[in-house]
Amino acid sequence: MKHYSKKDINEMNRIYRLNLINSCTGYKSANLIGTISTNKIYNVAVFSSITHLGSDPALLTFIVRPTTVPRDTYKNIIDTKQFTVNHINIDDIEDAHHTSARYPEMISEFDMTKLEKEFKDGYSAPFVKSSKIKLGCKFLNQYKIKENNTLLMVAEINDIFFEENIIQKDGWLNLDTAKTVTVNGLDGYALPKLVDRFKYAKRKNE
């Protein structure tokens, strides 16, 4: 088995290390965050750090990299206190990935891709029309992570939209049906397949 020590990692070529560390922790969620600026510019950007934080209340979290350079998604969320989360499906991976390109603040990624805006239930932030699972979110708080100067963003999930054939009788969303993709590293998109689903785990003597 190949082994890299901390010394090896520290001495690696930057891009090689970037790919290694971003992929070694496994598959990540693949989502598009939609926001709107105070100048009414619609922004959409791919994020692979969105995770479940709690069910009651319904919370999610994601990471924003250091704000030493412009971060349009972050600025828009702080200014408007709302955003949307849109699952990336297999048909949208090329355009979704392109949203990671660095465009000036006044250029909308919607105009540079085939992704289409959609508006729902009073949200000024855009949803992605082709996404089959979409969340309307309200920003709650941010926490600075001093170890690498990133920000942990916390938000509540206020609205959930999905195609009806995706949900099961017990409320579980079948991501197989939605063809939701995941991200391996920074640029590898995968379509996972459900292997099995189990009941709530209890001790074997119960």
- In contact, 138 and 78? CB cutoff 8 Å: no
Residue type, 33: I
What pLDDT, on the 0 to 100 scale, is given for residue 203? Answer: 85
Instruction: Say if residue 204's pLDDT is above 90.
Output: no
Non-local (6+) Cβ contacts of 132 within 8 A are: 87, 89, 162, 163, 166, 178, 179, 180
Instruction: Say if residue 58's pLDDT is above 80.
Output: yes
- In contact, 173 and 160? CB cutoff 8 Å: no
What pLDDT, on the 0 to 100 scale, is given for residue 133? Answer: 98
Phi, psi of 90 (to 5 degrees): -55, -30
Q: Taking residues 11-29, what's their average pLDDT? A: 95
CATH number given to 26-190: 2.30.110.10
pTM of the full structure:
0.94
Binned at pLDDT 50, 70 and 90, residue 200 comes out as confident
Q: How far is CA 126 from CA 16, 29, 66, 120, 204, in A?
A: 35, 20, 24, 8, 47
What pLDDT, on the 0 to 100 scale, is given for residue 205? Answer: 76
Burial 180-192 (b: 16+ CB within 10 A, else e): bbbbbbbeebeee
Q: Taking residues 83-99, what's their average pLDDT? A: 97
What pLDDT, on the 0 to 100 scale, is given for residue 179? Answer: 96
Instruction: Say if residue 46's pLDDT is above 80.
Output: yes
| 164-183 residue pLDDT tens | 999 999 999 999 999 999 99
Longest distance between any two alpha carbons in the chain, whole Å? 62
| 115-160 residue pLDDT tens | 999 999 889 999 999 999 999 999 999 999 999 999 999 999 999 9
What pLDDT, on the 0 to 100 scale, is given for residue 122? Answer: 87
- Token pair belonging to 88: 């990336």
Phi, psi of 31 (to 5 degrees): -140, 155
